[in-house]
Every structure is written in structure tokens, then in C-alpha cells.
Structure 1
Amino acid sequence: MHESRCGVCCNSCERKDKVGCRGCLNMEGPFWGGTCGVKSCCEKNKYDHCGVCPDFPCDMLSNMGKEEGFDPSVRLDKCREWQGQ
């Protein structure tokens, strides 16, 4: 079962409790405030997660978090795994 829209494994996230995040599936907006383009896109198109989108992997998802130093390949691989479920 998927835990997020973008491939983040929320249940094993070490920062989750520190920042008060319940995961994007359980929150209207991201814990940091504002909007998340990936979350908004999935919900607008009624996709459970990015892996089911015909445009997967799009530029938005592929570049999400890069500026903050996160490796997007982990999330992309998880979305691919969720595709088969």
C-alpha cells in the first residue's frame, strides 16, 4: 500500500514526528505550509500516487527535493514498486 503521493515512505520517515507530519494522504496541506505541486496534481487527477500517472516520471516529481539535497531516485523507485500493487 502506498504511503504518499510522491513515493516517500512516511511510516519510516525519521523527521515525521519532529515536524508534526501525518503524511500527505492524511493531511490537507503539507506540514511546511503552502502547497505541494505533486500532491495537488495527484489529487486533481484522482491518482493514488505518481506511479499510476501516464506521465510518470514527470519533471516535477523527478526534481522534487533536489535543491534540498534529497536523492529523487529513492522516491521514483518506490512509485515503480507501487505500480505493481
Structure 2
Amino acid sequence: RLMEAAGARAVYPVGLSTADQVSDLVAAVSIPLNVTAHPADGHGAGDIAALTKLGVRRVTFGPLWQKWLGELSAGQLGKWLI
């Protein structure tokens, strides 16, 4: 609420991992709620449809996209090491 009062146009909370946490925060603010999800594993509160139903307005991969691609690439490129 402090972010909203300070003029934020959206909230990007860190660490939300359950549907209850997401829905509680959606109910607590009147501005859009955005969450970070893993590109392969998704979000603890569900898939895009479930997050949308909970009231999430945007899903981002944030730094998790680059981290996941790095891990995926390392696994694939490791096959080339002698």
C-alpha cells in the first residue's frame, strides 16, 4: 500500500509463491499486481490462466529467463567438452 500511496502504477512483489499470497495482495491494492515466474517451472500459484484468474495483470520471467537459458546451455554445451 505504501508503494501505491507513493504513486506506483503497479506492484512487483518478490517472493510470492502461493495462490493465497497472490490473491491476498491483489485484494490489498487497487493497482495491477505483477509476478515473476520461471520460464519452465512456472509459478507456485499456477499457470498463466490460474494467475490471471487470481487477478495478476502481468507475468515476467525477470532474471529467471537468463538463468534458465544459462543452465540449459551449459548442459548442452557440456557434451562438447573433452
TM-score range, shorter chain: under 0.3
- TM-score, reference length from structure 2: 0.26
Please tell me whether Structure 1 or Structure 2 has the larger radius of gyration of its CA atoms: 2
Q: Which has the higher strand share?
A: 2
